[in-house]
Amino acid sequence: MLPGTPHLARSSAGTLTLDGLPLADLARRFGTPLYVYSQAAMLDALAAYQRALAGRPHQICYAMKANSNLAVLQTIARAGCGFDIVSGGELARVLAAGGDPSRVVFSGVGKTAAEMAQALRAGVRCFNVESVSELDRLSAVAAAEGAIAPVSLRVNPDVDAGTHPYISTGLRENKFGIAHDQALAAYRHAASLPGLQVVGIDCHIGSQITQVEPYLDALDRLLDLVEAVERDGIAIHHVDVGGGLGIRYVDESPPAADHLVGLLLQRLDARGHGHREVMMEPGRSLVGNAGVLLTEVQYLKPGDAKSFCIVDAAMNDLMRPAMYEAWMAIEPCVSRSTPPQRWDVVGPVCESGDWLGRDRSFAVEPGDVLAVLSAGAYGMAMASNYNTRPRAAEVMIVDGAPVLVREREQAQALFSGEKLLA
């Protein structure tokens, strides 16, 4: 069974297709390594959130660090979404893709003064502020710009999202957000500063979350604070519950987005906060299952202890296995009828951590194309040029036709900014 999305299928003849297009053909036409995305799969994933939020004041802000290709941003902007950004560079991408800055929230623990000024000039909707010193800096930057910065405080609700330590962000020990017990004082401070206007509250408790309870716990903790802050006479307009909903890589069964949203709205209503604007910042769950990474098998190296299938994609193209020991499904794009063997699928980079999948079973020959599934999020976005490897090309399938949305990098371009000594 293929995890993730109904847009991906295997024909009875053994051909793996995305939106009906044979992936091996795309690999031949555009070369490998190659990211391929289904626009329809992205829009389907977004529609689940939109359905559940319809009829409520709301704003979905796609956490674009998951996949920031301009065509992806354009697709999501045209569907009425805003963006959650974490850098000035991401803001520049939103504008280049035709996104609306008044639907942008600016997150991140380390915003520089220059990034704050850039975002104020662009007219972003809200700064999600993560510390008291950031409040002070933002107020000063806004005053110097002759502007008032709309702020939400990112509160660390101290709930365990039950996910990998590197992608868990809502615990007391994490660097993110303002501790729950210090948040009221931080709101009072924000309200006293001349360059700020308090507009909301937010949290983001982690990534690849597969349970609803952490979200409901975090929402309860936020609403406790909203009530305390408003008793103090500081009005809070929106509640932003962050992103983090998981996807199926193997056999995970995360809640469907509309189910999760339904439960969150119920909880808001039950506590008398049904009138508030709800904001969400999904990243992975909008794009993760919509993409695959195609790679060509270069060599087979059978051995006693391990057999290696050496491919032309590597950790620089897809970091998740090396960085989080993430398990991602790997499928031959055309299945063979010969008996399967066990392989460690590895790349050419000079690191033992350079693997894409371990102990996988399939029949394969050099020249075959493999697909790493569910690679649409935190795939290309985290790619690097380690080993002076040009980054992969990206193709988006739009209305059944493949469109090249990023050219393959050229090696020359990688060192074009470098200087030889005199």
Ligand X SMILES: *Cc1c(COP(=O)(O)O)cnc(C)c1O
Active site residue 350: yes
Of 108 and 195, the one with the shorter C-beta distance to ligand X is: 108
Cα(268)–Cα(291) distance, integer angstroms: 34
Element (H, E) at 61: strand 58-63
Of 204 and 248, the one with the shorter C-beta distance to ligand X is: 204
**Amino acid in the structure at residue 114:** A
- Determine the 3-state secondary structure of 139 from DSSP: helix
Element (H, E) at 40: helix 39-53
Interacting residues with ligand X (CB under 6 A): 63, 65-66, 84, 107, 204, 207, 242-245, 281-285
CB atoms within 10 A of CB 41: 24
- In the complex, least distance from residue 87 CB atom to ligand X, rounded to whole angstroms: 11
Structure tokens at 259: 């189910």
Cα(100)–Cα(79) distance, integer angstroms: 12
Are residues 388 and 357 in contact, defined by beta-carbon separation less than 8 angstroms?
A: no
- Determine the 3-state secondary structure of 308 from DSSP: strand
Tell me the binding residues for pyridoxal 5'-phosphate: 244, 281-284, 378
Closest CA to 356 of 391, 327, 395: 327
Closest CA to 317 of 381, 368, 374, 360: 381
Of the residues 61, 126, 333, 350, only one is catalytic, namely 350
- Determine the 3-state secondary structure of 206 from DSSP: strand
Are residues 156 and 180 in contact, defined by beta-carbon separation less than 8 angstroms?
A: yes
Number of H helices, E strands in the chain: 12, 21
Of 103 and 204, the one with the shorter C-beta distance to ligand X is: 204
Cα(71)–Cα(291) distance, integer angstroms: 13
Of 254 and 332, the one with the shorter C-beta distance to ligand X is: 254
Of 110 and 272, the one with the shorter C-beta distance to ligand X is: 110
- In the complex, least distance from residue 349 CB atom to ligand X, rounded to whole angstroms: 25
Cα(52)–Cα(195) distance, integer angstroms: 36
Active-site residues: which are they? 350
